[in-house]
C-alpha cells in the first residue's frame, strides 16, 4: 500500500475522536463521507478572503470568486472526463439533479404510453421523480428484475426495454446491495432503442474512476458530500446537444440573456440551469475534494476498498445468524455491505454498535421497493471508504459478536 494511504486518517479531524469512549469506526460512507482538513480550509478561505457573488462584479473579490467557482466546474469536467465544461451543471446534489431532469427533459419528452425503465435497486431519488412523471403523463413505469445474488438481470433488461422506451434510469452502484452495474453495456442496450441513459452515480464517482464519455451516459448525476466535499452541492452532467434543447428548471437572476416586460430569453448552458446565487463556497469545496481524490488516484481508492471487502465479507458470511444481501463473492461486491443479524431489529443492532464506537446505517436506505423485493423491512449497512482500515472491520466484527451475546442469539 502507498505510504500516503497509511497516514490518511490524519487528514480527517473527525476521525480522531472517540464515541462512547471507543475508537470511532465510521462505516456510513454510503450516506455521507467525512471531510479532509484541506476541504474545510478551502471553504473557510473563500469566506474569509474571496467572498463575493459570481459572474456579476468587476471588482477584485468578484473576479476571484468567479474564477474559483468556474475552476471547480473544470475540475469536475476533468474528473469524470466530460467533453466540455459546459456539460457540468452545479446542483444541490443527486436528488436535485434527477428532479431537474424529470422536470425538464422528462416533461418535454414523455407522452402518454411512453415507457420509463428503472430497476428494483434504485434509490428513491432515482425512482420517485420518474414514478411521478409517469403518473402525470400517463406513461408506463417498468422495473428490471434482479438475479438471485442481487445483480441487475440483463436478460430481463433487454426484454423490458422496447422501442416505446424513452428513458432508462439506473444506478451505477447500488447503495444497498453492493453491486456495480455495467453502465456501458446498459447504455448500449438503451441506445439501440433510441432511449436516453440516465445514471445515478452517487455511489460510484467517489469510489472508482468514472469516464462519462466511455460509459456513453446521456445524463449522469452525483453528490459532493459523498466524495469528501460539503453538503448542498452536486452535479448533473448532460450531453451538450441534449442540454441545449432543454428548458430552464428555475427562473430568476443569472440564467437569463435578455428580460423584457412580457418575454425573456435564456443564457447558454450550463448557466441556464443555475438560477440565482449559487452555492459558491461549497462548489469550491467540491473542487478541493476533487484535488484530494485526484492526488490519491481513483484506481488506488478503488483498490483500498476492494481490499477491505476481501477482508470483511468472508468473515461476515461466517457469522452464525447473519444474512448478507447482494453478491456473496467479494470480487463482485463493492464497499457497501448490507446485512441482518438473527432476529434483532436493524435499529437495535445499529444502536448496539454505536456503543462500541461503530457507526453504521439501519433502515430501508431510501430503497423501500428494494426492501419489499428482498422480503425485509430494513437492513443494517456498513459502507467503506479509503480512510477505513482493517482495524475498523475488526471493530465491526467485535460489535457483531457483542451484540449477539447481549441479545442472546
Provide the phi-psi class of 396: left if phi over 0, else alpha when psi is between -120 and 50, else beta. Answer: alpha
127-to-228, 269, 324 alpha-carbon distances in Å: 25, 26, 24
**Residue 265 class from Cβ within 10 Å (0-12 exposed, 13-18 middle, 19+ buried)?**
exposed
Give the catalytic positions in this structure.
366
**Distance in Å from the first CA to the final CA of the chain:** 38
Residue 4: name the closest of 33, 42, 36, 40 by CA: 36
CB 386 within 8 A of CB 6: no
Contacts of 213 (CB under 8 A, 6+ apart): 81, 82, 83
**Residue 405 class from Cβ within 10 Å (0-12 exposed, 13-18 middle, 19+ buried)?**
exposed
Output phi, psi for 367, to 5 deg: -145, 55
What pairs with residue 315 in β-bridges?
A: none
298-to-34, 206, 220, 292, 301 alpha-carbon distances in Å: 17, 8, 18, 10, 5
H helices of 29-166, where? 37-45, 60-80, 94-101, 107-109, 128-137, 154-160
Residues 334 and 308: their CA atoms lie apart, in Å, by: 10
Amino acid at each position: 500500500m502507498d505510504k500516503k494511504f497509511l497516514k490518511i486518517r490524519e487528514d480527517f479531524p473527525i476521525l480522531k475522536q472517540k464515541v462512547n469512549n471507543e475508537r470511532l469506526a465510521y462505516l456510513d460512507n454510503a450516506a455521507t463521507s467525512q471531510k479532509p482538513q484541506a476541504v474545510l480550509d478551502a471553504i473557510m478561505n473563500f469566506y474569509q478572503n474571496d467572498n463575493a457573488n459570481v459572474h456579476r462584479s468587476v471588482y477584485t473579490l468578484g473576479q476571484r470568486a468567479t474564477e474559483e467557482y468556474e475552476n471547480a466546474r473544470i475540475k469536475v469536467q476533468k474528473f469524470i472526463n466530460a467533453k466540455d465544461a459546459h456539460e457540468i451543471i452545479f446542483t444541490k446534489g443527486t436528488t436535485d439533479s434527477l428532479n431537474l431532469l424529470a422536470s425538464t427533459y422528462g416533461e418535454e419528452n414523455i407522452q402518454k404510453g411512453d415507457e420509463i425503465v428503472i430497476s428494483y435497486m434504485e434509490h428513491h431519488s432515482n425512482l420517485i421523480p420518474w414514478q411521478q412523471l409517469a403518473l402525470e403523463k400517463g406513461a408506463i413505469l417498468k422495473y428490471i428484475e434482479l438475479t438471485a445474488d442481487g445483480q441487475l438481470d440483463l436478460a430481463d433488461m433487454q426484454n423490458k426495454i422496447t422501442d416505446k422506451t424513452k428513458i432508462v434510469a439506473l444506478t451505477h452502484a447500488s447503495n444497498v446491495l453492493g453491486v456495480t452495474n455495467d453502465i456501458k453495456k446498459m447504455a448500449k442496450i438503451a441506445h439501440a432503442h433510441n432511449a436516453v441513459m440516465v445514471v445515478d452515480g452517487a455511489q460510484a464517482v467517489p469510489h472508482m474512476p468514472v469516464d462519462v464519455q466511455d460509459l456513453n451516459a446521456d445524463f449522469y448525476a452525483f453528490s459532493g458530500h459523498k466524495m469528501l466535499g460539503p453538503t448542498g452541492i452536486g452535479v448533473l452532467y448532460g450531453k451538450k446537444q441534449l442540454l441545449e434543447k432543454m428548458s430552464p428548471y428555475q427562473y430568476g437572476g443569472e440564467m437569463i440573456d435578455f428580460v423584457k416586460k412580457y418575454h425573456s430569453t435564456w443564457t447558454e448552458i450550463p448557466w441556464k440551469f443555475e438560477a440565482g446565487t449559487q452555492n459558491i463556497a461549497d462548489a469550491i469545496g467540491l473542487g478541493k475534494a476533487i484535488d484530494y481524490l485526484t492526488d490519491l488516484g481513483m484506481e488506488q481508492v478503488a483498490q483500498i476498498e476492494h481490499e477491505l471487502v476481501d477482508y470483511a465479507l468472508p468473515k461476515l458470511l461466517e457469522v452464525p445468524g447473519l444474512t448478507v444481501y447482494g453478491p456473496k463473492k467479494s470480487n463482485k461486491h463493492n464497499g457497501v455491505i448490507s446485512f441482518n443479524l438473527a432476529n434483532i431489529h436493524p435499529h437495535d443492532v445499529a444502536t448496539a454498535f454505536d456503543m462500541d464506537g461503530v457507526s453504521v446505517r439501519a433502515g430501508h436506505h431510501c430503497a423501500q421497493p428494494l426492501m419489499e423485493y428482498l422480503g425485509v423491512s430494513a437492513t443494517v449497512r456498513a459502507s467503506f471508504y479509503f480512510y477505513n482500515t482493517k482495524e475498523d472491520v475488526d471493530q465491526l466484527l467485535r460489535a457483531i459478536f457483542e451484540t449477539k451475546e447481549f441479545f442472546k442469539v
